Structure 1
Amino acid sequence: MNRFTFHLMSHERIYAFAEGRIDDLDNLKVAVPAVPQNEFVSSKLTEKLEQQMRDPLAVSIGGMPSWCNQLMTSCPFLFGFEARCKYFRLAAFGSLQVQPHLPSHNNSGSTSERRSNAGSLPRKKFLVCRDSILDSATQMMDLHARHKVVLEVEYKEEVGTGLGPTLEFYTLVSHEFQNSGMGMWREDHNSSSSTKSLLAGDSGVVVSLFGLFPRPWSPTVNASNETQFSKVIKKFVLLGQVVAKALQDGRVLDLPFSKAFYKLILGQELCVYDIQSFDPELGRAVLEFKAIVDRKRFLDSACGENTSSKFDSCFRNTRIDDLCLDFTVPGYPDYVLTSGDGYEMVNMSNLEEYVSLIVDATLSAGISRQVEAFKSGFNQVFPIKHLQVFTEEELERLLCGERDSWAQSNELLDHIKFDHGYTVSSPPIINLLEIIQEFGHEQRRAFLQFVTGAPRLPPGGLASLNPKLTIVRKLCSKWADADLPSVMTCANYLKLPPYTSKERMKEKLLYAITEGQGSFHLS
């Protein structure tokens, strides 16, 4: 009931409109706060599950008791998030390891990853090329998707290796998947061109304010589009592999999936009420059309079909015929919904079928092959069904880490280590913490990527960053204000010169996080 409150309330509003209890289409809008997920958690059941998972005999011989599996399948919300994370790793990978990428330094000065416990997966290095990130990702997954190994990246002609370069690789792959020329995702057709330009910049990424959702492709792809669509399918297979491998290895991705796409990953069915979550304009229009169709049907049954003439002007004082809608998917004129006599334009008599075809193209027929391709790639790494113990929001947190809420003063002080010449009261440290709090969203992302290799923090935020974010005094050759900050991403280690002023520090730091990306060399 809690999960489907919006659907139920929307259905009730449409039914009220059909019966004439409300007359304004604006009254179809629904805003219902959900009950917090932790309200449903049973502390006793959670502790009992934790006890079972702490028993090495029960874990290693015969698996968990049947009651654990049965309740986790039917009512996962009864258990706390952390307990379900442990259960997920146990069920999917046979290990309770939570952070498989604990770094250690070898004698050569590079960084490698050690096993966090006896059940951890072995490590495998892979050489990638910056100029062909997706090709490198394809080769990596072709070789290792089906193998239980922790993948570690090094770049051609660069000396860095370990956690930092690996996290950066997953970030770069994430950005490549958002290329607007790939034909994978819906784009925001309702934003103005100036807004799109502001959001996309010169990067050519998909503009989607409400998250990525598969672009609809007609089930009858013509010859001119067949080659492009086959490439789209291959990219969804690769995406599934990358997402699964990131979850298996504990890597953070920078992929803003929509809530509806997470639902598809979790094996849930979508309905007409889900469209608003990734395309509010289309979703609202479809629901309003549905409300008009339902009102016409209700009055026809109550008063006879002679009332139908009233409804030609029922959509916001405009006749349906005058909307000039044809039987194609809005925003995708090449996707023809149907053909034949009487289907050239939408009118009151065929509006119901138009709504049905739009919903089917958007949520089923137009995206089913892409979703199946994603799942097939994912299942090469581990069975996707194991994710069903999570909600959409929890899966996003597991895959993409924490949102931009880490730059609070207490959060910074509690979870940052100051060493080698700096303390919490050192003037440069005070200046740095103030600068971080003044940063905008994109600047904070750039700072995180500069220091850790990824623009997002892992689940749990700064407290979960391993190793701990450490800031040390950088020894400068001549004059501190002339030097730039440098980092060891594998150790989350920022070497900061003792600048003479906050303004100079901000200038140098912004330059470093903007221009100092894209390679790993000895500093």
Structure 2
Amino acid sequence: MGGACDGEGAPSSADTLRRQLVSPRLSSKLQQQLGDALAVTAGALPGWCEVLLRRCPDLFSPGSRARYFHATSFGVSRALHWSQEQGVAAVRAAYAEELAALDRARLEAEVSSDAQALAEVVEQVAEVEDRIGRDRMGALRSDIARVSRDALLPSAERLMGLHAGCASALEVQFEGESGFGSGVTQNFYSAVANELLKAKHQAELPLWLAEHAGIDPEGFISHPGSLFPRPLPPEAPPAVREAVRGRFRFLGRLAAKACRDDFIVPLPLSLDFLHLVRGGSLTYDALPPAGATGGVASAYAAVACELAAADAAAGYDDPAARRSAAAAAAAAEFA
């Protein structure tokens, strides 16, 4: 089932077949099993869940596979937290109308400056929230880290290196600022994503293909709408290779930490890149469309095909002769 992607954003025949293989009954049965908080936290789910999801994952809907992943991949504390959140979400939905009515009453009390009514509404909301979270067993541990906005990228790299192996949630605060909570932590991930798109960092360490070369007034790189890693030339120094690998390792840790804690790293990564990260392969259909690169991609592809054909026909044994033939072919193509 590991078919190649048929181009950026275009559904392939393999994707269509996967959707046709999904079994609603199996997906529903898996959802029921994951609703048992005790079985999830104790690791006592039926054996068929792991066997079928490992051997025949396409039989299950993406949503049910995602729920199984969250429930089984991050240890007991995360499994317990996830199970409790599922239960709390269901209970909160049952109290949705009551909470909405209390919210309207709170707004009316604030508009009319009625302190007594506002206090009563706040007390009622607290009672409802207490009923919603009554069955909770503890809370997920959080680690608080402070980073500097002035040196955000180096600070983030050090933080991810130190916290990569920690199972606890990560909460970020900025030095010299009083804000805290999930909003500030999401701002951290968004700010780091912006740093990775800045032209100065791209000039220091080229990570992305930017076909439409140029810099916008805000100092960000220009790209065709999706980011794909920039291949390194064979003569790239070892230090540069290691630095690029380190930066992508940092990006992987950042994205993993954000996804695990339900945050977003807003980088417009190429679907083809994500397909490769998942172990897939690409066909020639994944190349940019004609004219998108001003003919550069097609010219390079033509040279590569010509060199392969010439090499096969001539059977060069002398490296110097091979380099000379390659230079002549390239000069003729790009003249």
TM over 0.5: yes
Q: Report deviation, 1:121.
A: 3.1
1:40 to 1:204, Cα distance in 2 relative to 1, 3 A = farther
CA distance in 2, matches of 1:219, 1:290: 16
1:74 to 1:219, Cα distance in 2 relative to 1, 3 A = farther
Q: Report deviation, 1:216.
A: 0.8
Tell me if structure 2 keeps the 8 A contact 1:272–1:287: no
CA distance in 2, matches of 1:287, 1:65: 51
Aligned partner of residue 267 in structure 1, secondary structure: coil
Q: CA RMSD in A?
A: 4.2
Question: Which residue, 255, 264, 269 being the options, matches 2:267?
Answer: 255
CA distance in 1, matches of 2:279, 2:2: 18
Tell me if structure 2 keeps the 8 A contact 1:212–1:257: yes
Q: Report deviation, 1:50.
A: 1.0
1:149 maps to what in 2? 168
Amino acid of the structure 1 residue aligned with 2:232 = W
Q: Report deviation, 1:283.
A: 5.5
1:59 maps to what in 2? 40
Match runs of 1:111-150 below 5 Å: 118=137, 121-150=140-169
Question: Which residue, 277, 294, 308 being the options, matches 1:265?
Answer: 277
1:31 to 1:292, Cα distance in 2 relative to 1, 3 A = farther
Question: Which residue, 237, 244, 255 being the options, matches 2:256?
Answer: 244
Aligned partner of residue 140 in structure 2, secondary structure: coil
Alignment: residue pair count: 266
Q: Report deviation, 1:159.
A: 1.0
1:73 maps to what in 2? 54
1:208 to 1:70, Cα distance in 2 relative to 1, 3 A = farther
CA distance in 1, matches of 2:234, 2:276: 19
Tell me if structure 1 keeps the 8 A contact 2:5–2:286: no
Tell me if structure 2 keeps the 8 A contact 1:185–1:206: no
Query: Which runs of no fewer than 5 residues in structure 1 stay unpaired?
Result: 8-29, 103-113, 298-304, 306-337, 352-523
Mapped pair 1:208 → 2:220: no
2:287 maps to what in 1? 275
1:53 to 1:207, Cα distance in 2 relative to 1, 3 A = same
CA distance in 2, matches of 1:78, 1:119: 35
1:506 maps to what in 2? none
Question: Which residue, 151, 160, 165 being the options, matches 2:184?
Answer: 165
Aligned partner of residue 203 in structure 1, secondary structure: coil
CA distance in 1, matches of 2:21, 2:196: 36
CA distance in 2, matches of 1:340, 1:207: 34
Tell me if structure 2 keeps the 8 A contact 1:37–1:77: yes
Match runs of 1:212-227 below 5 Å: 212-222=227-237, 226-227=238-239
Q: Report deviation, 1:5.
A: 7.7
Q: Report deviation, 1:233.
A: 2.1
Aligned partner of residue 85 in structure 1, secondary structure: helix
Q: Report deviation, 1:71.
A: 2.7
Mapped pair 1:184 → 2:207: yes
Aligned partner of residue 173 in structure 1, secondary structure: helix
2:326 maps to what in 1? 343
1:71 to 1:276, Cα distance in 2 relative to 1, 3 A = farther
Mapped pair 1:91 → 2:72: yes
Tell me if structure 2 keeps the 8 A contact 1:97–1:119: no
Q: Report deviation, 1:342.
A: 1.8
Q: Report deviation, 1:158.
A: 1.1
Query: Which runs of no fewer than 5 residues in structure 2 stay unpaired?
Result: 90-132, 314-320
Match runs of 1:502-513 below 5 Å: none
2:6 maps to what in 1? 6
Q: Report deviation, 1:38.
A: 4.8
Q: Report deviation, 1:291.
A: 8.6
Identity %: 28
1:25 maps to what in 2? none
Cα distance per residue 1:268-320 (max 9 Å; x no partner): 2334433338x9546655667789999x99xxxxxxx9xxxxxxxxxxxxxxx
Q: Report deviation, 1:202.
A: 2.3
CA distance in 1, matches of 2:58, 2:298: 30
1:175 maps to what in 2? 194
Relative to the length of structure 2, the TM-score reads: 0.65
CA distance in 2, matches of 1:149, 1:290: 49
CA distance in 2, matches of 1:169, 1:285: 41
Q: Report deviation, 1:267.
A: 2.0
Aligned partner of residue 130 in structure 1, secondary structure: coil
Q: Report deviation, 1:54.
A: 1.9
Match runs of 1:86-485 below 5 Å: 86-94=67-75, 95=79, 97=82, 118=137, 121-179=140-198, 180-181=202-203, 182-188=205-211, 191=212, 196=214, 200-222=215-237, 226-276=238-288, 281=293, 340-346=323-329
Q: Report deviation, 1:119.
A: 7.8
1:37 to 1:269, Cα distance in 2 relative to 1, 3 A = closer
Cα distance per residue 1:478-505 (max 9 Å; x no partner): xxxxxxxxxxxxxxxxxxxxxxxxxxxx
Q: Report deviation, 1:66.
A: 3.5
CA distance in 1, matches of 2:16, 2:194: 34
Mapped pair 1:44 → 2:25: yes
Tell me if structure 2 keeps the 8 A contact 1:125–1:153: yes
Tell me if structure 1 keeps the 8 A contact 2:34–2:68: yes
Q: Choose between structure 1 and 2: higher helix proportion.
A: 2
Tell me if structure 2 keeps the 8 A contact 1:2–1:35: no
Amino acid of the structure 2 residue aligned with 1:127 = R
CA distance in 2, matches of 1:266, 1:75: 17
Aligned partner of residue 162 in structure 2, secondary structure: helix
CA distance in 1, matches of 2:323, 2:307: 22
Amino acid of the structure 2 residue aligned with 1:50 = Q
Relative to the length of structure 1, the TM-score reads: 0.43
Aligned partner of residue 6 in structure 1, secondary structure: coil
